[in-house]
Every structure is written in C-alpha cells, then in structure tokens.
Structure 1
Amino acid sequence: MRVASLVLRVFPAQLEDLKSTVLRIPGVQWHGADPNTGNAIVTVEDGDGYSMADSLIGVSQAPQVQSLTLAYEYTDDGLELQEA
C-alpha cells in the first residue's frame, strides 16, 4: 500500500475544473478546497492496475495546477508482520 497527501495551489476560479480533472485520475480522492486561496487537498493511493507514483504525476500535470506540495507519504513496502 502506498498513499500520499498533496496540497495543490491553483487560481481560485479554476478549483471546480481542477476537481473534475483530478477525480478522473485513478486513486485520487478530493478532500476539500479553500475558494479564497485556491488551495486544495487530495490524497493519492495505489491500486490494482495503477501505481501511486503514476497518479501523483498525473495530478502534477493537471493544467490547472500552479504548484504541488507533498505533505505526507506512507508505504508499507518492506514491512513484515511480526508476532509480538
């Protein structure tokens, strides 16, 4: 499992266009936006047939995105279950 949280910055008038664009990308969830500042929060997860990295790149290449900040990233790759 891989997941990342992103803060996107766009022109406030483009927030709705951004939302419809990024929600077409596999693994992206929209969590909210501030219409005054143009900041939006999304998470990106991996899944069957697509990677988190590919979806993250897709979000970064959305035409409305002015800047993107990776706020959080988690992966359980390499973790093994251990008995206590």
Structure 2
Amino acid sequence: MEFDDQMRRFFGTDDLGAVSPAAMASGVERMQVEFGLETDKGRRFAMWSLLYMLGKAPDLDVAFKDERDRDAARTFMDLLDQANEDARGAH
C-alpha cells in the first residue's frame, strides 16, 4: 500500500493540510480499526507507519508480535526522527 493511497483511502486526499479536524479524527479511527483487523504484514506496517507519523500508533509490543517487525518499526522511528532533525537544521 503506497503512502498516497493510504492518505486518499482514510482521509479522502493526499494533502493532510486540507483535512478538517473532524475528518482527521474519523480517518485515524478507521485506520486504527483496519489496522487491528489487517493480517498482511506489509499493509499493517504501512498503516502503523502513517499512524506513527500522526502520533496515533499503538505501542510496538501491541502492534507487532514478531520481534523483527518491532525492530523494523524502531528503525523507521529512528530514520523519521533523524529526517525531522535534519529538516529543522536546514532552516
């Protein structure tokens, strides 16, 4: 599942700045429900990643039963944190 596809599926747009607070809350809720039901590891990781970026992701031990999946999520978190630090330093 591509990032833009997730945005359109859950929020109706690929521009989060255009999403109203009510639509954001509704989209996050739908995503959390689908995340809980999803069995495909790749789709689960993609949904968790977007939820993480929105500050709404479940804890790693709840989200991922497999240690390798938790390690991949930690790596994603570290890379995102580094990218955010680099972006702040570029201003």
Common fold by TM > 0.5: no
The structure whose residues are more often helix, as a share, is 2
Q: TM-score, normalised by structure 1?
A: 0.31
Q: TM-score, normalised by structure 2?
A: 0.29
Which structure has more RCO (C-alpha within 8 Å, separation ≥ 6)? 1
